[in-house]
């Protein structure tokens, strides 16, 4: 039975892709077939093969099930800004139903563990009517929250967790990703979140100068969300 999770973050620089790649690598090491999707990406370059996003390419390269780029990132927007604004500037409209359908199509490939990574934080507009959070709602996916450990992260994490619960979804787990290497009272912040978030801590990723999926994987334990050796 395939396990699929939606990855969100406390903000746009929380480290969602880094942690997602680490999770995929960890699952690969357990002998699982893995898929990583980044359905909406703003900030893409055309290097001769159409618009490509660096985060989506990391997921494509790390996952063991090799998909076409367009399956991993069906909505590729050129400018690095809020997706609904980037889409407007390109004369495009974004639909959560359509994007969820793209994801379901890609997830039809045989796999054991799959991640669908969001864009920015939880409340990112797709249009004047829909938020990106509508996609995991439509797909009924449990959520993993990446908390960018820096000043203010406690409020951001708790507000995000409240919004996930209000949307009727399960917060399956969270990861503390140290984005500020000089953050004061780091452990005290982690301990506060451990007591406040009703989900297991899946790992603390230290600040890494040249991070890799393998390095991040060594700081994660996915057993609490039921990911075990095949």
Structure tokens at 181: 């290497």
Residue 171 DSSP class? E
CA–CA distance, 194 with 176 (Å, rounded to integer): 10
Orientation angle between helical segments 54-62 and 16-29, nearest 10 degrees: 10
- How far is Cα 194 from Cα 199, in angstroms, rounded to an integer? 8
Using N-to-C axis directions, what is the helix angle for 153-166 and 186-196, rounded to 10°? 20
Beta carbons within 10 angstroms of residue 166's beta carbon = 9
What is the rounded distance in angstroms from the CA atom of residue 191 to the CA atom of residue 180? Answer: 17
Choose, from 38, 150, 194, 230, the residue flagged as catalytic.
38
Active site residue 66: no
3-state secondary structure of 39: coil
Cβ proximity of 157 and 14 under 8 Å: no
Radius of gyration of the chain (CA): 17
Residue 51, beta-bridge partner list:
46
Q: Return d(Cα 113, Cα 151) in angstroms, integer.
A: 33
As given in the structure block, the two tokens for residue 188 are 């005290």
Which residues are identified as catalytic?
A: 38
């Amino acid at each position: 039975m395939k396990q699929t999770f939606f990855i969100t973050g406390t903000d746009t620089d929380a480290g969602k892709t880094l942690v997602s790649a680490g999770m995929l690598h960890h699952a690969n090491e357990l002998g699982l077939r893995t898929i990583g999707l980044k359905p909406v990406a703003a900030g893409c370059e055309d290097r001769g093969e159409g618009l490509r996003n660096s985060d989506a390419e990391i997921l494509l390269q790390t996952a063991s099930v090799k998909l076409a780029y367009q399956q991993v990132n069906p909505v590729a927007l050129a400018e690095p800004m809020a997706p609904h604004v980037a889409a407007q500037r390109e004369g495009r409209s974004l639909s959560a139903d359509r994007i969820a359908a793209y994801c379901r199509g890609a997830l039809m490939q045989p796999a054991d563990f799959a991640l669908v990574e969001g864009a920015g934080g939880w409340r990112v507009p797709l249009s004047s009517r829909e938020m990106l959070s509508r996609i995991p709602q439509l797909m009924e996916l449990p959520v993993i929250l990446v908390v960018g450990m820096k000043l203010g992260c406690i409020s951001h994490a708790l507000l995000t967790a409240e919004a996930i619960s209000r949307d009727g979804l399960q917060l399956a787990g969270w990861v503390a990703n140290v984005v500020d290497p000089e953050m004061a009272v780091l452990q005290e912040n982690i301990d506060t979140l451990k007591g406040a978030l009703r989900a297991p801590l899946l790992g603390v990723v230290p600040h890494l100068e040249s991070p890799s999926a393998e390095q991040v994987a060594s700081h994660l334990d996915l057993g609490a969300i039921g990911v075990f050796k095949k």
